[in-house]
Structure 1
Amino acid sequence: MKFFTKIILIVLFLSATLFSKDIARVTGLNGKAYIDRDGVKIELTLGASLQEKDTIVTKDKAKVQIIFEDETIVTVGKNSNFSIDEYLYEAKEEPVAKFGILRGAMRTITGKIGEIAPDKFSVKTKTSTIGIRGTNFAIIERVDGSHLVYCTYGAISVSVSGNEIIVGQGFYASVALSGEIELNEFTSKELREMQESNFAEGKKKKIRVSKDADVADDGQLDFTTDNESAIVVKDTTAQTQDATQREDNEPEPEPEPEPPTPHQIVMSGWMVNSDGSEHYSRRVGLDFISDGSLFDSANSWVEDASQGAAGETAEWKYTISDTPLTYTSREEFSTTFSSVVVSGGNFSNARITAGTQPNSFIATGDDLKNDDYMSWGSWSISLLYNDDYAGAKDQTRDVYGLWVAGEPTDAAVVDALTGNAVSYDGKYRAIDFVNSNTIVNGTADMTVDFGADTATLNIDYDSGRTFDMYITGNSMNGTQGGGEDGVADGTFYGPDGDSVGGNFKTTFDDGAAVEIKGVYQVDK
């Protein structure tokens, strides 16, 4: 009887596999893990394909990296249970990405679904649902059923029983099993401990595939190694088959020209209220259409968050005027904001007004390189709003800030880069909170170890400030050295990862006070 039961299970499994579509591939594997597919356990191997409804289960000291069809990158930590509940990314179909984390830890860098349909991207835990707004985040499911959700870039929404809270970059939500949510700003120590306790695997050695690697009969690369470190696999089977199917004397067909695609520029910066209180400008969205020479301001905006008197998070979104502008690298352009909307925080009726800050959005035209892959600038606005909690109308908010933006490098390109002391040089611009919120400028440099996935950023403010960062996919984040509580992040820009831009904050007096907050750009 047991024999026939096994036969039936195998037949059912093979039938389901035959009609299932591969939607992701395992691109990194350390330690032991397996796939639970329709009740059948399959040992996870590097390069394995994943399907909808698969569940990834990792053992102690294990770590798995997955890249989906839309270029979403998910890293599953040790002792974790990660499920692909629903996934669709096909032409002429509405995309969707729904995942689950019932145990352990995961972090993600959202891909194209997060860009074109952020409301269709979610992660479900035992008690909450996490939605995204173009972001990087990590979820830690704890033994008692509670969990922590860290937002390391962009913004996320955490929903429990219909109640939603926005978590901005630099903050984490602690969600109790009862559904209670507590929002806190994470410190550099907490961020480091979260990374090391859930995702660290020791000094990682990346094994590169040489041109002499063996190819098995099924067209897959054959690796023989005792090292469990991550191996980056590039699947060229389809290309090889296309080439062998053509006759020797048949010319290779000319590729069809692709329609112009927008250069999606997404990065963030720092801002300050005129009263001296500072906030993180969570997102700066810029669309460059065609070859990057036309700035499509209709799809561009700046967004930040503040805290209302009732303790709720208020979300402010400033939309840039609809008039398209000609943009060329190293040339300044200036436009204005056409509208502002506020939600949450018991604030309402936000509108632009003439105030102490001019209505402006500026690219300063002093980029490091003459290309369309990275730029930076400043913005400012004055507005009025109603504080419904206090019953006060026509309250004034004058804000200004800095932004840096660029076209991100493909994560697979960054993962394939080599070198343990690659130098990047450039500059920074910052708001100096010690000296009356003035704008200061200086030089910056970065050293990247692609083998260890680490980067060190140095800025020459005062006697110099240093940040140690970890690289995940095409982005990085880390903390200030010297016992301070500063933080920094960055993103690789351009097709080859030759540029890096990002944000940083420095502190003094053992993290008790903010020193400067700024943006930087560095190039090879």
Structure 2
Amino acid sequence: MKKILILLTLFSVFLFANVAKVVAFKGDAFIIRDNKEIKLELGSIILKNDAIKTQDNTKVQIIFTDNTIITVGKNSQLNVNNYIYDEQNKEYNANFGLLKGTFRTITGKIGKIAPNKFKLSSKTSSIGIRGTQILSNIQISGDTIFCTEGQIDIVSKTTGETVTLTAGEFIQIKEGSPLGEVQKFDQKSIAAPDSETKFVPEEEKEAVLDNFKVNIIESTPEPNSNPMPEANSDPKVPAPVDAEPDPDPDPTPDPDPDPTPDPDPVTPTPDPAPVTPDPVTLIGSTAMYDATEDLLNFPMLGTLDDEKIALDDHAGTIINVKMDDLTTKYSTDGSYSGNLSSSGNQSFPYRPDLLFVSGTYTSVADSPTGFDKTDDIQWGTWNATFSYTNPSNQTDTFDLNGISYWLAGEQTSEAEVTALMMSSTTEVTYNGYALGRYDNYTATFDATNSNVTLKINFGASTVGGSFAFILGGNTVTLKITSEGIANAVTSSGFSFKGEEGGSGNGKFYGPNASSAGGNFNLNGPESTSFVGVFKAKK
């Protein structure tokens, strides 16, 4: 039966004037109400016409009654100009003023039911949405608007121009000037506002409420109660009532009457609809190097998302392959293999005709004694064959010779990691192993001759530790640090660099970030390099 979620608060959030609740908070902030400042706290109720004003090093997450989430960054002010969410009377309106600062907006039910009634307004523009996530940086020098999901329409308050942004695009708007050029954003351009307003994905709202100690009760209608008709039900169909005698009974008697009288009739309760479990989405990393071909003679680090491997060095090398049936095979958590297929464009410098031919992947034991079924990550190798036209105008092929690695798992929700960042000040130690190549990428290491130690402080946003490799009876230890890396730990993962050079990235996996894993390319002694994937657990 469908869950009914009831949010318990000191006051009902669903009263007409109470429009939202603070579910996450770090730093110093105030609610401006009737020209008075009220200190904002975790659990504070937000009313229509309130303004939320934050100080330095502050972050506030607010959930509105339609499930819209707005995260307010440091030194910012959000005005709730108007807010109505009345499903019974079908009245909807959400108008928020972005006065200054940085904001992350994830639209809720109003954005789906009545998108034309959802508006974000700044000094320079008005933003309309179509089921979206929006990142906004509002400053005196002008506004920068990022569309991270869906589509938004921006109207200039100066010229009346309208421009549409789709996911992955941004625009800069200066007061008194025409709209700027629509551009594609990259990690660098979005990094600062993104880190200041780490958001809660749509599918994690329930987890957020739970993580921030807001009680959630699952309730079902009483068996004999008459449920209220749904808002979109036919008004001509009356609500169910207790059964009454048929005024015109069937004159034909029952040939085989039941001697037992029927009990008082009641409105039948329909069987519950079967619950389909949420599909598993595997997130991970990859590392690749082909030391035997002139076409590709440098290491590349990439991503794995929902079975798809993607590598792009932003210099002409692009590889997109899919690990067919990985999700199914992943459930066995042991020895398995599968095929690769093409999942997008393939490109090497000077080889625009590059085509994917075939490929395979294989799982690899992830502990010295075999497959570890107690952690949240699996890994292995992959190899692909490509074709191209050689200088003699003939079709030629090459493969990666198995010098490529993958890692995958079920990523920890951003809500859980955000909770750790806001509550934990203790350094957490993760221990594990690495899988990859070194010494001009011709020799290998795995769980039998490597050790990885990660020391992560969620609250301080720091990463330290070491990668150790036992090579020919000698141990090579590469220390890592996050010194000089702003926001080394975020709700979506972490970054580090080697003390002798190189870098790495990772994500958190399992409940409460119980495991960590990612990829790395670290410099070692005597100009050696170590490239691969790593996994560790608390």
TM bucket by the smaller chain?
A: 0.5 to 0.7
In the alignment, structure 1 residue 305 sits paired with structure 2 residue 312: yes
Say which of 263, 275, 300 aligns to 1:279: 300
Residue-by-residue CA offset, 1:310-329 (whole Å, 9 max, x unaligned): xxxx8653233369854555
In the alignment, structure 1 residue 503 sits paired with structure 2 residue 519: yes
In the alignment, structure 1 residue 319 sits paired with structure 2 residue 352: no
In the alignment, structure 1 residue 494 sits paired with structure 2 residue 485: no
Shift of 1:339: 3.0
Aligned with 1:179: secondary structure? Answer: coil
In the superposition, relative to structure 1, how do residues 522 and 138 fare at CA in structure 2: closer, same or farther (>3 Å)? farther
The residue correspondences of 1:349-388 to structure 2 (distance < 5 A) are 351-353=355-357, 359-366=359-366, 369-371=372-374, 373-384=376-387
Match of 1:18 in 2: 16
In the alignment, structure 1 residue 426 sits paired with structure 2 residue 426: no
Match of 1:27 in 2: 24
Q: Judge conservation of contact 2:147–2:165 (CA < 8 Å) in 1.
A: no
Aligned length, in residue pairs: 402
In the alignment, structure 1 residue 77 sits paired with structure 2 residue 93: no
Shift of 1:183: 7.0
In the alignment, structure 1 residue 235 sits paired with structure 2 residue 214: yes
Say which of 432, 445, 452 aligns to 1:444: 452
In the alignment, structure 1 residue 458 sits paired with structure 2 residue 466: yes
In the superposition, relative to structure 1, how do residues 345 and 69 fare at CA in structure 2: closer, same or farther (>3 Å)? farther
Match of 2:340 in 1: 337
| Separation in 1, partners of 2:68, 2:372 | 29
Aligned with 1:261: secondary structure? Answer: coil
Letter in 1 for 2:517: G
Shift of 1:427: 0.9
| Separation in 1, partners of 2:173, 2:411 | 35
Relative to the length of structure 1, the TM-score reads 0.55
Say which of 409, 413, 422 aligns to 2:412: 409
| Separation in 1, partners of 2:97, 2:504 | 29
In the superposition, relative to structure 1, how do residues 234 and 471 fare at CA in structure 2: closer, same or farther (>3 Å)? farther
Residue-by-residue CA offset, 1:429-476 (whole Å, 9 max, x unaligned): 2344x6146544421012234554544232125432213385756543
Q: Judge conservation of contact 2:142–2:172 (CA < 8 Å) in 1.
A: no
Letter in 2 for 1:18: F
Q: Judge conservation of contact 1:412–1:473 (CA < 8 Å) in 2.
A: no
Q: Judge conservation of contact 1:444–1:458 (CA < 8 Å) in 2.
A: yes
Instruction: Choose 1 or 2 for highest CA Rg.
Output: 2
In the superposition, relative to structure 1, how do residues 302 and 241 fare at CA in structure 2: closer, same or farther (>3 Å)? closer
| Separation in 1, partners of 2:348, 2:97 | 30
Letter in 1 for 2:297: G
Shift of 1:335: 0.6
In the superposition, relative to structure 1, how do residues 396 and 71 fare at CA in structure 2: closer, same or farther (>3 Å)? farther
Residue-by-residue CA offset, 1:154-208 (whole Å, 9 max, x unaligned): x9999996788969xxxxx996863275877759xx97xx5999689xxxxxxxx
- Percent identity over the alignment is 22
Residue-by-residue CA offset, 1:468-500 (whole Å, 9 max, x unaligned): 385756543233264x66443333322243222
Shift of 1:425: 1.0
| Separation in 1, partners of 2:212, 2:353 | 53
Shift of 1:78: 1.5
| Separation in 2, partners of 1:473, 1:322 | 30
| Separation in 2, partners of 1:112, 1:463 | 49
Letter in 2 for 1:179: E
In the superposition, relative to structure 1, how do residues 64 and 19 fare at CA in structure 2: closer, same or farther (>3 Å)? closer
Say which of 280, 284, 302 aligns to 1:263: 280
In the superposition, relative to structure 1, how do residues 145 and 25 fare at CA in structure 2: closer, same or farther (>3 Å)? same
The structure with more strand, counted as a fraction of residues: 1
RMSD: 6.2
Shift of 1:374: 1.6
Letter in 1 for 2:408: A
Q: Judge conservation of contact 2:135–2:194 (CA < 8 Å) in 1.
A: no
Q: Judge conservation of contact 2:457–2:463 (CA < 8 Å) in 1.
A: yes
In the superposition, relative to structure 1, how do residues 49 and 323 fare at CA in structure 2: closer, same or farther (>3 Å)? same
In the superposition, relative to structure 1, how do residues 271 and 81 fare at CA in structure 2: closer, same or farther (>3 Å)? farther
| Separation in 1, partners of 2:63, 2:142 | 28
Match of 1:212 in 2: none
In the superposition, relative to structure 1, how do residues 493 and 383 fare at CA in structure 2: closer, same or farther (>3 Å)? same
Gaps of 5+ in 1: 1-13, 91-96, 114-122, 168-172, 201-230, 243-254, 286-299
Gaps of 5+ in 2: 1-11, 88-93, 110-119, 155-162, 175-179, 199-209, 222-271, 470-475
| Separation in 1, partners of 2:30, 2:346 | 43
| Separation in 1, partners of 2:336, 2:283 | 18
Letter in 2 for 1:460: A
In the superposition, relative to structure 1, how do residues 150 and 50 fare at CA in structure 2: closer, same or farther (>3 Å)? same
Shift of 1:100: 9.8
Q: Judge conservation of contact 2:168–2:185 (CA < 8 Å) in 1.
A: no
| Separation in 2, partners of 1:99, 1:516 | 50
Shift of 1:376: 1.4
Q: Judge conservation of contact 2:79–2:98 (CA < 8 Å) in 1.
A: yes
| Separation in 1, partners of 2:61, 2:13 | 27
Relative to the length of structure 2, the TM-score reads 0.54
Choose 455-464 or 393-402, whichever is displaced more: 393-402
Aligned with 1:234: secondary structure? Answer: coil
